Structure 1
Amino acid sequence: MSDQIATSPINDADIWQHALSVARLGVIDRNFATGETSHSASWKRMLGYDEHELPDHEDLWLSLMHPDDIERVRDISRRNVVGETEYLEAEFRLRHKSGEWRWFLGRGCVVERDPDTGIAIRLIALQTDITGQKNSETELRHANERLRLALDASGIGTWHYEPDTGRMFWDERMREIYGIGPEFEVSLDTCPAFVHPEDRDAVEAQVARLIETRETLHARYRIVRADEEIRFIDAHTRYLSEGQHSARVVGIVRDVTSEVRAAEALATEKETLRVTLHSIRDAVVATDGEGIITYANESAIQLFGCENSDMIGQPIGAWLAGRCKTRRDEDAKTLLAMAGDDGSERVIRHTAAPIAAGTGTVSGSVHTFQDVTQEHARKRELAYAARHDSLTGVLNRRAFEETLADFVSDAEAPSFALFYIDIDYFKAINDMAGHAAGDAALKGATEAMKQCLPSSAIVGRLGGDEFAAIVPTSDRDSAIAVAERMLEAIRSTPLPAGMRHRDFGASIGVEFVDAPGESATNLLARADDACYAAKAGGRNRVAVRDGRSDTAGGLAAIRMASDLGDAMEDGRLKLYAQELRRLDDPWNTCGTVEVLTRLVDTNGNNVPPSEFIPAAERFGMASMLDRWVIRQALERHGSQMGPDGALSLGFNLSAQTLSDPSLWTFVKETIAENGVAPNHVTFEITETATVTNFEAAQQFVRHVRALGCRVSLDDFGAGLSSFGYLRRFSVDSVKIDGEFVENIARSRFDRAIVSSITGIARDLGFYVVAERIEEEAALDVLRELGVRKVQGYLLHKPEPLEDLIARICGHAGAETAERRAG
C-alpha cells in the first residue's frame, strides 16, 4: 500500500482545488476570445453547490448576484476590461443555495491582452466569502451607534489624555459643556483653567491623588464657562495602563447644574410649602397611615365651618360622612355634596394622594377639597352646548347621528320615520335681509317643526339650513301627515318685517325604518336622497323614498366619503396647488400658492374635486378634510414659511370647518408647532360658508387676523350680498368670482363689476385677486382696472404641491445667491 502511494503521480489540479478550498477562495476564469468561462469547484462550494450542480456559462455569477449590485459590479469590471483600471475590486452579494444572500469580496484583473489592439483576452478573478466580516462590521457599527446614543441621551462628555504624547482629546459634548467651539485647542491645562477659583485647590489635590494612587477619581466642582456662566460639573476620571500599551487618563463629565440647584431649592421647599398651604384657597387636610387627621389648613377650616381642634385627631372617613354626601362625576372623581350657608347645595371635589415613605410604605395621605359648584354648573352647560345647536337649541349633527345610531342598533327600539328637512330659499333671506333675519327665520322654522312633532320625536340641525328628525311610529300615513303639517307650519313662519319673499318653506325626505341593524349613515343618505327628490319635484313638498329602489347616488356618495377617510391614511389624497401671480410680473413666481386636493380611488383613477368635496360636506367630513390639508401642508413645508421664507400658502375653509368651535385653537397650535410666520398663511372663505354660521366665521376671522394671518373673501360677487360682507368682515383681499373675469376682455358689464370692486378695495385698504385667467387679453384689462394678483390656467395649472414648492424655493435660492454675488 505504501509503495502504491509513493509511486502515484501527483495531480496538480487536485492540489490547486484543495488549496483554493483551504484558502476559502473561488476562481472565475473568463476567456473573451473563446467565450468560455469557468468557475472553480471551490467557488461553487462556497455557494453551497456541488461542482456539477451549476453548469458553467458566461453570466453564471451575475445571475446569482443581488439586483442592487449588478450594475455597479458590471461597471467596475468594464473599466478594468477596457484598461481604465489596472485591477478590479468589489464587494457584492450572491445568493447561496439556501436562499440567503452572502457577501463576497472579488479581486482580479485582465491577465492577457492582444499585443496589437490591447483588447482583453482573458480575465481571472478571485472571490472569497466575507459575510462574517460584514456582519462583524455591522455589529460594531451598531454598538458604536448605541454607545453614542447613550452618551447623547445622558448628556455626558468624554475626554482622554495621553501622557506619552501630551495629546488631549475632547468630544463635542465636552466642548459644549465648557462652552468652547471645535476651533479651541485643548491641552492638559484646559480643564484647570476653567475650574472656579474657589474650587481649584481642591480639584488639583484630587488630581494629584489620582496620579499617585491610580484610583478612580469622582469630583463635583464648579466651572466658569467661556461665556462666564457658572455651571456645576460631576466628573469621573480613571488612569489606565494595560501591559505594553501606553498609559491613558480617561474621563467623563456631566453638567449637574440643574441637580445642584434643585437640591438647593429643596432646602427651602418645605417652608415654602407650609406657607403656601396656609395661603391657598383649596382646603388641604393631611392624615397619618391610619386615616387620622393630623393637619388642616385655614381654607379647610373655613370650608367645613369648624375649629382646627375639632378636626385634628378625627378619622377622615367618619368626619366627611357626617357632613357630606358622596357621588361621582363623569371623570370618576369624587364629588361631595354639602349644604351651603344659604341652604343651596354646594359641590366639592375631593381628591386624595398617598404619602409614600422611602421604604415604599404609605405613611399617610393628603386630601384636597375644592368648591366646584360654579364649575359643575358650567360643565353641565358646556355638555349641553356640545350636543346642541347654539342657534336653534336642537341636537347638533354629531349628537343627532349618535342618537340615530343608537336607535338602529337597539333591537328593541320601535319602528320610526326619519325626516330629512331642507329649508327652501334660506340663502335668499340672508342675502336680502341679513344674517339676523336668517337666524330668526331658522329659529321660527325650528319651533314650527317641534310643534308639529310628537313629544317622543328627536330633532337635529345637520348644518346650515338642513335638519333631520326621528319620529317613532309604525304608521306610515300618520308620519306623512306629520311631515305635511310641518311643511304648512314652516310656510307660516313669521318672517322679518319688510320681507316680501314668501317662498320660504321646506323640502322633506322621508325614510321608514322597520328593522334594526341598518347603518345610520346609510339611512341619512337615503332620507337625503328623498329630500333631493322633493326639491327636484318643485320644492315645498314631501317625498318618500321608495324602498324597492336603490339610492345609487346616495350610496355612491357614502362610499366616496368613506374612501376619503381611508385616502388620508394610505396616501391617496394628494396635495396640489395653483400659484397666484403678481399682475405686474405674471409670468414669474411670487411664492403665493393656493393649496388644493386631488383624490385617487383604490383603482388608481382620479376623482374630480366636484365629486368628493360635496360628499365630504354631505357626510360631515369637510372639517376633517380641511384640517388634514392644513396640517399636512404646514408640517411638510412649514420650514419654508418662516419670517424669511419665500413661500405663502392659502387654504380654503368650508362651512363645516368655520362652524367648528375648536378651529381657531387648531390653527394657532399648528402654526406655532411648525414655526410658520402667520403672515405667510391665508384663509379663503366664501359667502356660502359664512351664511352657515356667521358668528363663528366672524370670530375666526378676528382671531386669525390678530395673530397675523391673512383672510380673503373667495368667489366675491357671486352672491347678492357680497358688498355687505365687506362691512362685516375685516379682510386682506377679495378674490373676484371667475364668472366676472373669464370674459372680461369682451364684456363691458364684467369690466364695470370688476372696476367697482377694485375701487372699493382701494378705498378700504385691501387688494383684489382675479381668478380664472385663461386668455392673455384679460391681463391688460385687469391691470388697467387696478387688480393686483391673478390666477388661472393661462399662468399656472395645478400641480403637486411638493413639485411646486421645490421650484419656488429653488427660484428664491437662486435669486438670493445672485443678489449676494452682485
Structure 2
Amino acid sequence: MISDPHLSARPDNDVQSSLSTKISVIVFWFMIVAGMGISFSLLHNSEARITTDYAGRANGLAYDLESFLHNQIVLSGERIEQELQGLILQYRVEAIEISLNGKSYLHGQRRPDQVLFARSFDFHPSGDKSAHRAGMSYFSFTPLHEAVAQERKQVLIYMGIVLLSFGLSLHWVLRRILTQPFQRMVQTAKSITHDETALRFPEDRTDEFGFLARFINKALDFITLKQGELREALDKVRLSEASLRAEKTLIEVTLHSIGDAVITTDAAGNIQYLNPMAEKLTGWKIDSVRGKPVRQVMQLIDEEHRRPVENPVEACLRDGHVTGSVEHVVLVRPDGSEVDVVNTAAPIRSDEGGPLIGTVLVIHDVSRAQRMAKQLAHQASHDDLTGLANRREFERILTKAVNSADPGVNEHTLCYMDLDQFKIVNDTCGHIAGDELLRQFASILRSRIRETDTVARLGGDEFGILFQHCDVDVAKRIAENLLQRVKEFRFVWKEYAFDVGVSIGLVSISSSQQSVTDIMSAADVACYAAKEAGRHRVHVFRLDDDELKQRHGEMRWVSRLNKALEEDRFRLYCQRIAPVADVNQGNPHYELLIRLLDEEGKLVPPLAFIPAAERYNLMTSIDRWVVRKAFEAFSANAGSVSGWRFSINLSGQSLCDETFMKFVIDAFGQTGVSPEQICFEITETTAVANLTQATRFIAVLKGMGCRFSLDDFGTGLSSFGYLQTLKVDYLKIDGSFVRDMTSNPVNRAVVEAANQIGHAMGMQTIAEFVENGEILRVLGEIGVNYAQGYGVAKPAPMEEIFAAANQAVQRRSTGT
C-alpha cells in the first residue's frame, strides 16, 4: 500500500477532534434555532391564551352575577357582598365592582395598574316580571403584562431544560452512532497509510458503516492486487530497460564494428545515424549530415550510363517494403572519388503492421569484389595463354549473331582455323615453344580482323573468327589474305625454324533458325575438308558438303571411338591427390584418368578424343565403361584398397541421361563397392549448364554416401552464383590459374579467392597442375587442402597402382 505523506504528516487526533467539534457545533446551533422557534411559538400562543383566559373569566363572572341577581327575590347589600367575595375566590380576581339600581358595590382592592373588564346585562329578579338593568360592573385581574412575563419566564426555563437535555442526548447518540465508528475507520485508515497493508476495516456492523467497510476492504484488496501486479510490471519494465540498454549497447558495438555501412533515416528520409563505416565509405561525418535528406549525401549513378539512379531509401519510403539498388551502382563521394556499392533499404516500423517511422540503409562496398569479378569475368571469357576470347565467350557472341541473322539483310560468317604444324613444333621443341607459337599466331589474327569481329582460341591449336555483318564471299577474301600472311610467317625457336600453315573452314550465318552447334559442326567439317584437301587453304561449307561431313567427320570419330569401346581399348590411369601439408601422408586418394589405345597400340591422351566424343554424344558410353571397369577393379582388389578414395569424372551428357544414375546405383549393388570410396567429379561448366540434373544427381548419390567434386573451378564466372546450390565436398581450382601462380599475381589472387570461397562454404579445396615444389609451398601458405599434378605424382596405370598395393598387403601379412 502506498502511504499518503499528507495524511501521515497530520497529528493522530486531528480527525477525531475536528469531527467531535463539528458535531457539537451542529447540535448547539440546532438547539439555539429549535429553542428560539419553539419559544417564539409557545410565547405567542401563551399571550393569546392568557388574553382569552382573562376574557373568559370576565364573561363567566358576568354570567354568574346575572344568574345570582336573577334568582334573588330581594336584593340586599350583604347578600351581594357575599356573592362578590365568593366570585373573587372562584375566579381569582382582586376586585369586583357592580352598579345596580344606582348603587355601586365594590369588593376587593383596586389599583391603577389593574385590568378592568366592564359588562352590562339585563336581569329579572325572582317574582318580578319587570326587567332591571344592571349598571356597569368592573372586574379587576392580575395585570396582563405581568401574566405574560411570568408565562415567558416559565416557558424559557422549561425550554432551556428540555433543549439542554435533548442536546446532550443527541450529542451522545451522534457520537455513539457516527463519531466512534468513524473514528475507528479513521484509525484503521491511518494504520494502512503507515504500510500496514494487511489491516482491514471491521465488517461486523450491519449498517452503512459495515457496508462502507466491506466496500473499502474490497477496494483495498483490489488495490493490493493491482499494486502487486504493478510491482511485477515495474520489475519487468526495469528488466526490459536493462535488457534494452544491453541490446542498445550490443547494437551500437555491432554497428561500430560491422564491415558494412549503416545509415538510418526518419520517415521523411532525413539522416539520423551513420556508423563509422558509413562515415568512411560516404566521406561524410554524422555531425555534418544529421537531419539532411539522404539523397544529398548519397549520390548514386549507373556505372555504365553514368546516369543518376533512384535512392533506395526514397523507394523504400514510397513502397513501404525492402528495396535494393540495381547492379553496377557507383557511389560518388564529396571529393569526386567513386565506390562500387550494393545497398539495401528496409522500412522501420513502431510495431508489426504499424506506421513507417524511418528506414535503415545498408551499403556494402563491392569495389574489390567488382575488380575481382571483372578479372574473373575476363579470365572466364578469355584464354590465359593468348589473351583471345575462349570457346565459351565465342559461342556466346556467336549465339547473339545467329539470333540477329537475316538472309540478304544481316549476314555473318564463321571462320574455323586449325594450325597445320603445331604438333610438330610441340613434339620437337616442347610445350613452351608450342605456347609461344600460339601466342604469335594469335597476334597475327588480331592484326587481320576488324574492330567488329571476334577472334577466339577454341582449344588446343584451334581458333575461330566471327566476321559480323560480312557475307561469306567477303569473309573468304579476308581468310585468303590471312593465309598469305601466315605463309609469310616463320616461327623460330632457338636453332629451329618452322613454316606454319593453317586450314580454314568458313560457314555462312544467314538465318536465325540455325543452331550454334550445327554452325560449329559445319565449320569443323569445312576446316577438316581443308586439311584433307592438302592443308593451308580455305574451304567454304556448302549444303552439298553433308556427304563430306559424314565421311570425314562423324565416321572418323564415331567409328574409332565405337570400335575402341567394342575392343575394350580404353585404359584407366590413376593420379594421386595428396594433402598439401604432407604429400606422403593421409589415406590414398586418386583421380581416374582415361586413355585411348589406338589401332597401332599407342596411347592417345583424352584431349584428342574427348571433344569429339562430347560433340558426337559418345561420352555417356565412355562414362559407363569407366564406372563399370573401375568398380570391377575396386571389387577385385577390395582387400588392398579398403579406405582409399577414387574420383571419377562425369560428363554433362551422362548427367542428363535419365538411365545413367540407375546404372551407377546398380553398379554399387552388383560389385559391392562402398559409396564412401567414390567421389564423382563434375566440371563447373557442365554443372551450371545442367544445374537441375546435376543437383538431383548429387542429392541422390550423396544420400548413399558418395562425395562430389566441382572440377575446373574458376573458369566460369557463373559458379559464384550457383555454388551454393551444388552441394559438393571438394572444390578443384582450375590448373590454368595454379600452373603459373608463383609468377602471376592475378592468378594467385584467383586461387586465394577460390580457396576462401570453398572454405567459407564448408568445402575442401584441391589445386590442379601442381608441377613443382614452389607451387606446393605457396599453396600451403594460402591454405589449400590438397594438391594434384606432376609435382606430387605423375599418372600411372591403375593396374600398377593396385599391384603395388597388393604387394604391400602381402608383405605386411608375411612380415617381410
The structure where strand makes up a greater share of residues is: 1
TM-score (norm 1): 0.42
- More relative contact order, 1 or 2 (CA 8 Å, 6+ apart): 2
> How high is the TM-score relative to the length of structure 2?
0.42
The structure richer in helix per residue is 2
Q: Whose Rg is larger?
A: 2
